[in-house]
Structure 1
Amino acid sequence: MPDTVQAATAAPAASGDRRALLGWIAALVTVIIWAFWMVGTRHAVTHSLPPAAVGVVRFAIPALLLAPITWRMGLWPKGLPLPVGLGLLCSGAPFFLIVATGMQFAPAADIGPLLPGTMPLFVALIGCLAFGDRFGRTRLVGFAMILLAVLCIGGRSLLDAASGTWQGHLLLLSGACLWGIYTHAYRRSGLSALQAAGLIGLWSMLILVPLGGPALAGAVADGLAGAVIVQAVLQGFISGVVGIVLYGFAIDRLGPSRAAALSPLGPVLATLIAIPVLGEIPDLAAVMGIAAVTLGVLLASGILSPQERT
Structure 2
Amino acid sequence: MPTESSPAAAAFNPARERLVGLACAIAVVAIWTGFSLSSRFATHQALTPWDVAALRYLGSFPLGLALGAWTGWPRLPVGRSLGLMATAAFGFPLCAYAGFQLAPAAHGVVFLTGTLPFMAALLGLLFLREPFPPRRWISLGIVALGILLLAAGSVEAAPGAWRGDLLFLLGSLSWAGFTVMLRLWQVPAAAATVVLAVYPPLLYLPVWWLALPSSMAAASTGAILHQLIYQGVLAMVVAGFLFARAVNALGSAQTTTITALTPAMVTLAAGPVLGEWLGWGGMLGALLVSLGMAFGVAAPWRRVPAVVDAPAPRG
Question: What band does the TM-score fall into relative to the shorter chain?
Answer: 0.7 to 0.9
- What is the RMSD of the two structures over their aligned residues, measured on CA atoms? 3.6
Check conservation: 2:189, 2:242, Cα contact below 8 A.
no
Distance 1:36 1:290, change over 3 A: same
Whichever structure has more helix as a proportion of its residues is: 1
**Corresponding residue for residue 166 of structure 2:** 170
**Corresponding residue for residue 305 of structure 1:** 299
Deviates more, 1:274-283 or 1:242-251: 242-251
1:53 aligns with 2:51: yes
Counterpart Cα distance in 2 of 1:247 and 1:255: 10
Query: Which amino acid in 2 is paired with 1:101?
Result: A
1:108 aligns with 2:105: yes
Counterpart Cα distance in 1 of 2:14 and 2:184: 29
Kindly tell me the number of residue pairs found equivalent between the two proteins.
288
Q: What are the superposed Cα offsets for residues 238-272 of structure 1, whole Å, 9 maximum, x if unpaired?
A: 222233444566678x7458766753442222222
Counterpart Cα distance in 2 of 1:170 and 1:66: 31
Query: Which amino acid in 2 is paired with 1:98?
Result: C
Q: 2:122 aligns with which of 122, 125, 137?
A: 125
Q: CA deviation at 1:117?
A: 1.8
Q: What are the superposed Cα offsets for residues 29-49 of structure 1, whole Å, 9 maximum, x if unpaired?
A: 432222111101111135421
Query: Which amino acid in 2 is paired with 1:103?
Result: F
**Corresponding residue for residue 7 of structure 1:** none
> Percent of aligned positions with the same letter in both sequences?
28
Gaps of 5+ in 2: 1-12, 305-315
Q: CA deviation at 1:163?
A: 2.4
**Corresponding residue for residue 285 of structure 2:** 289
Check conservation: 1:59, 1:236, Cα contact below 8 A.
yes
Counterpart Cα distance in 1 of 2:165 and 2:155: 10
Counterpart Cα distance in 2 of 1:133 and 1:19: 19
Q: 2:41 aligns with which of 40, 43, 53?
A: 43
Distance 1:273 1:61, change over 3 A: same
Gaps of 5+ in 1: 1-14
Check conservation: 1:109, 1:267, Cα contact below 8 A.
yes
Q: What are the superposed Cα offsets for residues 37-83 of structure 1, whole Å, 9 maximum, x if unpaired?
A: 11011111354211111111112222221225557547xx45x262x
1:227 aligns with 2:223: yes
- Tell me the TM-score normalised to structure 1 length: 0.76
Deviates more, 1:272-281 or 1:198-207: 198-207
Q: CA deviation at 1:20?
A: 8.0
Distance 1:189 1:291, change over 3 A: same
**Corresponding residue for residue 198 of structure 1:** 194
Distance 1:159 1:181, change over 3 A: same
Counterpart Cα distance in 2 of 1:24 and 1:308: 14
**Corresponding residue for residue 3 of structure 1:** none
Q: CA deviation at 1:224?
A: 2.0
- Tell me the TM-score normalised to structure 2 length: 0.75
Check conservation: 2:117, 2:256, Cα contact below 8 A.
no
Counterpart Cα distance in 1 of 2:281 and 2:267: 13
Q: 2:89 aligns with which of 92, 98, 101?
A: 92
Q: What are the superposed Cα offsets for residues 153-185 of structure 1, whole Å, 9 maximum, x if unpaired?
A: 55567779x922112222111111111110111
Q: CA deviation at 1:94?
A: 2.0
Check conservation: 1:55, 1:212, Cα contact below 8 A.
no
Distance 1:214 1:287, change over 3 A: farther
Distance 1:286 1:111, change over 3 A: farther
Query: Which amino acid in 1 is paired with 2:298?
Result: L
**Corresponding residue for residue 307 of structure 2:** none
Counterpart Cα distance in 1 of 2:82 and 2:17: 35
Q: CA deviation at 1:122?
A: 0.5
Counterpart Cα distance in 1 of 2:49 and 2:171: 14
Query: Which amino acid in 2 is paired with 1:107?
Result: P
Deviates more, 1:282-291 or 1:101-110: 282-291
Counterpart Cα distance in 1 of 2:196 and 2:17: 30
